[in-house]
Structure formats: structure tokens, C-alpha cells
Amino acid sequence: MGQSDEPQALRSAATAAPKAAAKPASSAVHRYRAVRQATEALTRSLTPEDQLAQSMPDASPTKWHLAHTTWFWETFLLVPNLAGYKPFDPRFHYLFNSYYEALGPRQPRPERGLLTRPSLDDVIAYRAHVDAAMGRLLADGAGALAGLLNLGLAHEEQHQELILMDILHLFAQSPLQPAYAPPRGREPAQPSHPPEPPRFVGFAGGLVEIGHAGPDHGFAFDNEGPRHKVWLEPFELADRLVTNAEWLAFMADGGYRRPELWLAEGWARAQAEAWEAPLYWQRAQQKDGGGWSAMTLHGLRPLDPAQPVSHVSFYEAEAYAAWAGARLPTEAEWEHAAQGMPVAGNFLGSGRLEPAAPPPGSGLRQMFGDLWAWTRSAYAPYPGFRPAGGAVGEYNGKFMAGQFVLRGGACVTPGGHLRASYRNFFYPHQRWMFCGVRLARDPAAGADVAADFEADVLAGLSRPQKAVPPKYFYDAEGSRLFEAITALAEYYPTRTEVALLRCIAPEIACLISPGAALVEFGSGASVKTRILLDAAPQIGVYAPIDISPAALDEAAAAIRRDYPKLAVAPLVEDFTRAITLPPAAQGRPVTGFFPGSTIGNFDPEEAQAFLAGARRLLGAGARFLVGIDVVKAQKTLVEAYDDALGVTAAFNKNLLARINRELGGDFDLDAFAHRAVWNAPASRMEMHLVSLRDQQARVAGRGFEFAEGETIHTENSYKFTVEGFAALAEKAGWALEASWLSDEPAFAVVSLLA
């Protein structure tokens, strides 16, 4: 229920302190009290005058929010359900009805600020009266009222967010520019460094499901369902929100002066209201440097270029996206990307009350919290949507015209309030919400691994520590050399993992349901797969995913030949891009398989992002078997990556041969040497290519200087403990089910549950 009266709100951080009573309060009473107290906690820094004023028709006074949420409980729960309940004051029914036509006329919304009576004290007494009655109503639990209780709690949480939005708007009108809360952490504001340009995460699209799956899956508003199928074309989503620095560049390039970037309605609005920056930005006097500040809940603050841009309308978001050569995501794209990600981020509970710069790392960040992200989707009913009967049916459905959907929650939203399916909605000109922009785009025609290879190599060789991502080892020759490595005496991981899998396969087989899909990441020659397929003939579909077409084609053909009853659905893909399962694997119980400690080739942040993506891909109820190499003696490790026959050296140097062949490079392979080192503090083996002299190499028309001894960092192989890995997986939303450790040299297989 976004723009209407009550957009989406916050987590109730407060915990109720139950009063001493004859019998312990029910959990329903606890939940009720916690949310009510969290609302009241938000008003502690406000004066009675702050709580009366109304800054514009869309915003309401805090006092009105306090009373209206109370009216909701009184009207929908107490009057119909608590025998003998007496309304606190019958006149309040008119004063504090928000928009429920079925319940009669009401105080006009733009005139809520005229309600000097009842006093704030009277409203506080009203809350106490209703709270006491709710205590009686819920004394034995919510029973049949559980649905209405959940709705009332979610409703009150929405008003918690509204209180903060509306107060910020009010304070922004004040010449004194008051701070709602003292600044945290940095005073005066220390601008953090603008992050790297956004990266776009690719999604394969296809037939996907969005929407809430119904009451068995927890509370949701009616507008979030029914769950239904949506066809998505391939798309890409920016890995973070647009920043203030990027918005400044848009403005400097005439973003607010160029009608060609704007929708007609947006341009008209921008002209009529003389928009030249986001809602709360203010330009400092020339004498003060002429920079920008922004009004925040911490008062007027210098603009932090790294923070996400906030308080922009849908129209501005659209113009920005056009300027950036991108577009806004649809709500189905956003939800598909968010499904399976932990609902964690900078919500109200963080206490920041402002969006934060994106955390370091890769993969999708800021999907939840920080700012609501505008989508390109009109707020409309999902197929099969039916509003609830009676007045509560007015909660969401009647607003499904002319508004746009926002997703993900904000720094003023209670965290527990959010879900991936949550739909907020506002009119396209509105900007006082905590809302921002995440870009999406259609994959460029012909975008493929080759284009990424060139871009990644050029970017990697331009860094102070030159580096190339290890996924580019695996052209046909690289895949062949890797298989040769697995047979080396020194390369223990493959042998020990194979032996371990043979031992535990019968146990694992018992966990796999008939007809299940086995989805393997980085399947290579699919050798280890056979151990599972032999032990679990009930597996119906095998979906290997690998970036190396040569390895995948050969392996898929061999598996088809040797397992004729199995459906084999290979996918040539970079598994760091979010992908969808091949149709043959959809709708089945899923077991993921990621052997070989290939997960160790990611940095910890990348591994976490990968695990979160895999959870989304494999779906609820999936099991994920992951092979991880274990920390051990340095000598064993270094020999495994620097074998006597020089196969690993050839594998490493093949990267330069591939660059020469595919990117028009002129690396002299004899002028580089293979190096493998154990980096103990980081718990990883590192592979480098060391330049044996000062030299220059050209790649794709660009020259790169190498000093003698300088290296290209080509691979990390992190070594784990089972506990450390389980903690990482838990952060990505997985739970450890079981783990098995091999004989020395140790290697582990863990089973994770979604």
C-alpha cells in the first residue's frame, strides 16, 4: 500500500517489556506490543509541534499517524471482535479513517494538519486505551484473528516508515533545517570514495515464477500474489544502486535540461516544478564553495558522492536511465534476481537512517534496504488477484492505476517487514519517499564470453597488480590441461575427492528424490558426476554448466552415451552470471553439485555472492553438495600447484597463448615463468605469471609495460576449514546439513540446504 496514505515501513526493533500479569502474555501480545512501542520510539526526538504540522497534502502529521494506526486496530479488530469494547471517542472514526470508503466519510487528507484537537496527549491516551483492549483480545493468542493481526502489524510498520518520510519532508521546509537524529559516525560528513563503475549481472531469462506463494509461506499483502509464471527475455541488472556522484555527472551533462531524455509527462512536471536536482539537494552559496548538500534525517549534510542517490521521482529515474544508455528493471526482473537472496541490508534497524555506499565486493548488492528501487512496471493486479472482502479489501487493490512499483525496502523500512515479493507503489512524480535507482539493460547483441574476455583482460592488465580472472584458463586446451593436472601425482585434490565421493555416494543417494535434477557447476569432464549417477539411478535430469564449450560438449556426449535413460541438458554459461535452470530441470527436486574446490577460485565476497546466486537458481528445498579443499602443510600445497612435469605451468601459460590467439596479443611465452605461492594470511594458493625481463606486450591494440619480476596474478585457490566454509555459506542463506572429510591430504565435501 504505497502511495495512498501508507507506503511501506520498518522493522520493529523494540522488544516489548511485558507488564507483570497474572498469566504470561501470549506471543501475539508480545508481537503487538513490540510493533506499537517501535512506533512510539520513533517520536521520542519530536516535539508536540513537530507532530502536528503537515508539510504537504501527501504527507501526514506524526500525530495523525499515531492516531490512525490506533484507529485501524480499533476498527478492524476491537469493534467487531472484543465483546463490550467501547470506542475511545466515536468522533475519531471520522478524524482518523484514512481512505476506507466502506467505512464512511473522513477528514480530508490535505487538512490533517488542522487537527489541533485532539491534543497529542489525547492521542497518546487513545493508544493506551486501544493497547489495553488489544491485550485482552489477544490474551489467549490471536486464534482466528491471526491474519488480521499480521495485517495490522504490517500496516503499523508501514506507518513507521511514513512517519520518518513525512518528518523529513516537514523538516526540509524549515529554515532551521532540524536534524531528526544526530549524525552517526562521521561529523562533519566525510565523503567516502565513489565506487567503481557499476557492473551488470546477466540473467538468462526464460519462464520464471514471481509473486508470493500464499499463507503457508508466511504473511504477505494481497497485492503480492498469486504466484505466477512470467516470461523474461535475457536481461542484465546493475550490481548496485546509482550513486550521487553519477547523478552529478548526469546533471553536469544537462540531465535536467534535455527534453530528449525525458518522458513527456515527466518533462512537463520537471518544468512546472523547476526541478534541477533531487528533492532534498541544496546548492551551497558560491562563497561556501558552491557544492551540493542534502537535507537528511541528520539535518543538512554535504553530499556524499558514494551514497546512492535518493528522493528522485520515477520520471527522473527514467531520464537518468536514458542518459546512461540503460533502462529501469521491470518488477519481475527485480524479483527474479532477488529471489533466494537473504533479505538483509541497511534497514531501519541499522540506525543509519540514510542510504549507505555499496559494500565492497561483487555480485548484486543493495537489493534490500538502503532505498526503494523504482521499477518500470505499472502497479497492476497479478493474474488471478482478488482483493479481500469487506473494507480491508480497499487496502491495496483500489490503488492499481497510474502508479509504479518500487522494490526492496529502504533505510527507514523495518527489516523484518520486507520480502522479495514485496510491492511498494507511488505516483511517478512523487519524490519524498526514500527511493533510488538501479539500472537494468538488455544484453548487447552479440555480447558473449569473447567480449567479456577482451574487456576483462584489458581491465585486469591495467591494474597496479595485473590480474586476469581464472575462468579464462578454460579454452579447449586449458580444459585438456586441467584434466592432465588431475592425473598428476602432486595434485591430490581430485584423487582424494573422488575417493571420498565413492565412500559417501550411497549415503548421498538416499537423500536424492526420484526424478531429481542434478545441476553441476564447472562440470568439466563430468568425471565425478558419474559416481553420483551410478549411486543414484533415480536422478532424472543432469544439467551440467560450464564456461568451456569444448569440455561441456564432450562430457555431455559421453554421459548421454553411458546413461541412456538420463535427460542431459548442458548449459554453456559463466556460472557467476545469474542463470536460469534449463527447462528440463525445472519443477523437479534439485541437487546442486560443485566439486573440485572450484569455489576456492573465488574471493570470499565472490564466493558468498556465488552461493547466494546458486541458492536462487537451485530454489527452495534444494540441496547443494560442494567440494572444498582443506588447509594443509605448505609443501603439499605448493607442490600441487608447481608439479615436476610442468603441466600446471603449461596450464598457467596457456592463458597467454589464448590471449595471443583470441585477442590479437603478442605475449612472448618464453619471457614469462609460472609461479605458485602459498599466501598464508589469506589462506590461499596463488598462481602468477612472472615477467622475466622488462618488456611490453600488446593486447587488442593496447600496449602494456612489464617490469622484470612483475607478475600477472592468474588464480587464487582458497583453502578452507569446514567451519569457515559453513559460516560463509550461512551468510548466503544456506544451512550446513552434513560434511565429510577425506583421509590425508584432506579434502571435504559439504552438503548445504537451501
Chain centroid to CA 193: how far? 22
Nearer to ligand SAH, 365 or 471 (CB): 471
Query: What residue 710 binds from ligand SAH, ligand AVI, none (CB within 5 to 8 A, per partner kind)?
Result: none
Element (H, E) at 247: helix 244-252
Query: C-alpha grid cell for residue 150?
Result: 499480521
Nearer to ligand AVI, 262 or 641 (CB): 641
Nearer to ligand AVI, 570 or 596 (CB): 596
Q: Least distance from C-beta 497 to ligand SAH, angstroms?
A: 7
Nearer to ligand AVI, 203 or 641 (CB): 641
Query: What residue 595 binds from ligand SAH, ligand AVI, none (CB within 5 to 8 A, per partner kind)?
Result: ligand SAH
> What torsion do the CA atoms of 509, 512, 517, 522 make, to the nearest 10 degrees?
-50
Asked if 346 interacts with ligand AVI (CB under 6 A), we say no
Nearer to ligand AVI, 12 or 486 (CB): 486
Chain centroid to CA 95: how far? 40
Distance CA 153, CA 142 (A): 12
Distance CA 455, CA 111 (A): 57
Residue ranges in 656-715 that form contacts with ligand AVI under rule CB under 6 A:
715
Nearer to ligand SAH, 417 or 471 (CB): 471
Nearer to ligand SAH, 61 or 595 (CB): 595
Transcribe 447-465 into DSSP letters.
Answer: --HHHHHHHHHHHHHTSSS
Nearer to ligand SAH, 495 or 560 (CB): 495
Q: What is the phi/psi pair of residue 172, to 5°?
A: -70, -20
Can you give the binding site for ligand SAH, defined by CB under 6 A? 471, 474, 479, 482, 486, 494, 522-524, 528, 545-548, 551, 574-576, 595-596, 598
Q: Least distance from C-beta 665 to ligand AVI, angstroms?
A: 21
Residue ranges in 709-748 that form contacts with ligand AVI under rule CB under 6 A:
715, 717
Q: Least distance from C-beta 490 to ligand AVI, angstroms?
A: 10
Residue ranges in 635-654 that form contacts with ligand AVI under rule CB under 6 A:
641, 648
The beta strand positions in 630-694, using DSSP E, are 672-679, 684-691
Nearer to ligand AVI, 329 or 600 (CB): 600
Beta-carbon neighbour count of residue 489 at 10 Å?
11
Which residue in the shown chain puts its C-beta closest to ligand AVI? Answer: 717
Exposed, middle or buried, 510 (CB in 10 Å: 0-12/13-18/19+)?
Answer: exposed
Query: What residue 244 binds from ligand SAH, ligand AVI, none (CB within 5 to 8 A, per partner kind)?
Result: none
Distance CA 266, CA 429 (A): 7
Asked if 598 interacts with ligand AVI (CB under 6 A), we say yes
Nearer to ligand AVI, 516 or 676 (CB): 676
Site string for ligand AVI, 545-584 (x = CB under 6 A): ----------------------------------------
Closest to 563 in 3D by CA, of 546, 594, 583, 540: 540
Distance CA 530, CA 29 (A): 55
Distance CA 225, CA 474 (A): 43
Q: Least distance from C-beta 450 to ligand AVI, angstroms?
A: 21
Residue with cell 506463494: 213
Coil, strand or helix at 339: coil
Distance CA 597, CA 613 (A): 17
Q: What is the DSSP letter of 308?
A: B
Half-sphere exposure of 26 (CA within 13 A, CB side): 15
Chain centroid to CA 557: how far? 37
Residue type present at position 349: G
Number of residues that bind ligand AVI (CB under 6 A): 11
Query: What residue 51 binds from ligand SAH, ligand AVI, none (CB within 5 to 8 A, per partner kind)?
Result: none
Q: Which stretch binds ligand AVI (CB under 6 A): 186-194, 201-209, 338-346, 595-603?
A: 595-603
Which of 198, 225, 596, 619 is in the footprint of ligand AVI by CB under 6 A? 596
Element (H, E) at 161: helix 146-172
Residue ranges in 477-506 that form contacts with ligand AVI under rule CB under 6 A:
485, 493
Which of 597, 711, 742, 751 is in the footprint of ligand AVI by CB under 6 A? 597
Q: Which residues bind ligand AVI (CB under 6 A)?
A: 485, 493, 596-598, 600-601, 641, 648, 715, 717
